[in-house]
Structure 1
């Protein structure tokens, strides 16, 4: 049908432009942040664009529903302003029929969103975690700069000089903050340090020469001291046994299903499977909220509509937080989706309901 092709083309082009613009804004801010971290020597500047690439699917899962909704609002608003909607209505095509014509495009966006959330975004987060884990170890010594303190996690390192191959350092100051309460902080001073290459080992290993090792207990007037001629120091990542929210976000769908009794896993599982259906609600909301008077302008209802749709995303985020704390069931996700969809369909079927409610409230 000509009308369907026309609408699909308009909505597709507008939505892609909005998604690209929102992605550019969000990723631009994140890229500036990573540039600042790289300037401090905490990560290697050569991996910045790899980090952005791995994090991009995660951002797209939040941007796509909003971009699709704004695209619908802009296209429908233009139809009203240019009197095209009046012509279509006079030809027997209502706004509800236009929404049905856009159902195939909505399903395409839904499938893309589902694939992004279930497979692509977790894969990107896993790659990002691997890169971050390697970088967390490497930043300890690989990114040391002469006469500057470099921090990485619980470690802080200082060297007055280092060789061009970064294997020999002089006048080392190494500080390790205690991770558990009651454990001492560690400070090591050494005249020289040499990197040790161990095959199939991702940790940083160095041999310290001629130094002292201090164990300091914060808030307590006691410490221990030991001198050494040679001391081998090994820095590796700390692995948490519990499942955190960030860990669950990078887990495969099969792993989530196997550990679905965990509240954190339940919240992530429901988030991946239910949030894509917000795109269907976006079509319904745009159909109901886009009607404007030509004198009002196409952007008259855009901001209120965005706030209403954003309230859906905020409600889903709040549900995710409550499920993580074991305060709600996973069925709260579809309850929110169906709640918004039901109210929107009610207003679509009874367009005079909103003016009547407004009149009653004013009285």
Structure 2
């Protein structure tokens, strides 16, 4: 059918452009944040590209949901502005005829968003957390990059090297500030390298430098020149990271199915379902009067989308707190939006002035009945 094929083509073209724009914005935002963390020494410079990719995958389901909503809104609004919908209405179709092409467009993206939300996004979050944790557990010197200040894992030591040789694994022009038990030690040296003693303890061995020490009272200051000086390097792994629910696989969540696990499952499933519901809701919200210019429905659509998203988040929190049943929270928000969709479609399908036209017809019938009655009385 020409009606379905034309809208299906328009939906696909608009969705492609919308998704590319949204994902570009997401990747750019993640890129700026990751580069800032790398410059601050919070992540490994060698894993910046991987962290950007994982960070972008986290927001893929939300990008797909917004793509469906914006695509349907844009295509149907354009059809109203160009009076294409007027021609379809004149041929006997109504807004409900758009339901089938919208579903054929939205269902594949909803399934893709469901796959990403249930499996891909938790995996990306877990890998991102693991990458940051690996960098936090590395030894002090392994975090050092030439020309950058680096803080140790315990936060009591700061390193700076001017140059670093990848071939010899030596650093040049080293500057170290060590704060322990109220005292502060400042060490500068021309060269340095990492060595391991018989007990397996790694040391940063500095050569041709100076050591200055200031005690906790600030009254005693000593300085010493040295040919060789060793600094113990923290090589402990520290405490294990917390195992968060958002990193768990879906099978583990279903096996546990505690209130917290139910809230996590609800969040993963509700987001993709909202793509299907918002795609249908966009049909009546996209109405534009061709003679009246732009409509405020787009503003209302934005407010409805934000309200809908917040309600889904609230129900997820209520399930985790055992104040709402899981199945009620899964069905109620989406059912409410579907009811709103049906009411808006009925309102848009009703001809303008239908109520006034019915009143006039009824009044005309009453006037005709009065005339007939008066003629019968006269006769």
Aligning the two structures, in what range does the TM-score lie when normalised by the shorter sequence?
A: 0.7 to 0.9
What SS class does the counterpart of residue 41 from structure 1 fall into? coil
Deviation at 1:131, TM superposition (A): 2.0
What SS class does the counterpart of residue 207 from structure 1 fall into? strand
1:273-325 CA distances to partner (integer Å, 9 max, x unpaired)? 22211112112211121111003345642222122112211221222334344
Change (3 A) 1:9 1:139: farther
Q: Pick one of 259, 263, 266 that aligns with 2:256.
A: 259
Deviation at 1:83, TM superposition (A): 0.9
Change (3 A) 1:209 1:285: same
Aligned length: 326
Name structure 2 gaps, 5 residues minimum: 217-228, 354-379
Q: Which residue of 1 aligns with 2:336?
A: 339
1:115-155 CA distances to partner (integer Å, 9 max, x unpaired)? 11111212222222232222223484333246854236653
Q: Superposition RMSD on alpha carbons, in Å?
A: 3.7
Deviation at 1:69, TM superposition (A): 0.5
Output aligned runs, 1:203-352, within 5 Å.
206-207=202-203, 231=232, 233-241=234-242, 243=243, 247-263=244-260, 265-297=261-293, 300-331=296-327, 332-351=329-348
Output aligned runs, 1:7-22, within 5 Å.
7-22=7-22
Q: Which has the larger radius of gyration?
A: 2
Q: Which residue of 1 aligns with 2:141?
A: 141
Change (3 A) 1:185 1:25: farther
After TM superposition, the score normalised by the length of structure 1 is 0.76
Preserved contact between residue 146 and residue 164 of structure 2 (Cα < 8 Å): no
Q: Which residue of 1 aligns with 2:165?
A: 164
Please tell me whether residue 121 in structure 1 is matched to residue 121 in structure 2. Answer: yes
After TM superposition, the score normalised by the length of structure 2 is 0.73
Preserved contact between residue 78 and residue 298 of structure 1 (Cα < 8 Å): no
Distance 1:78 1:205 in 2: 70
Distance 1:110 1:34 in 2: 29
Q: Which residue of 1 aligns with 2:87?
A: 87
Distance 1:292 1:275 in 2: 28
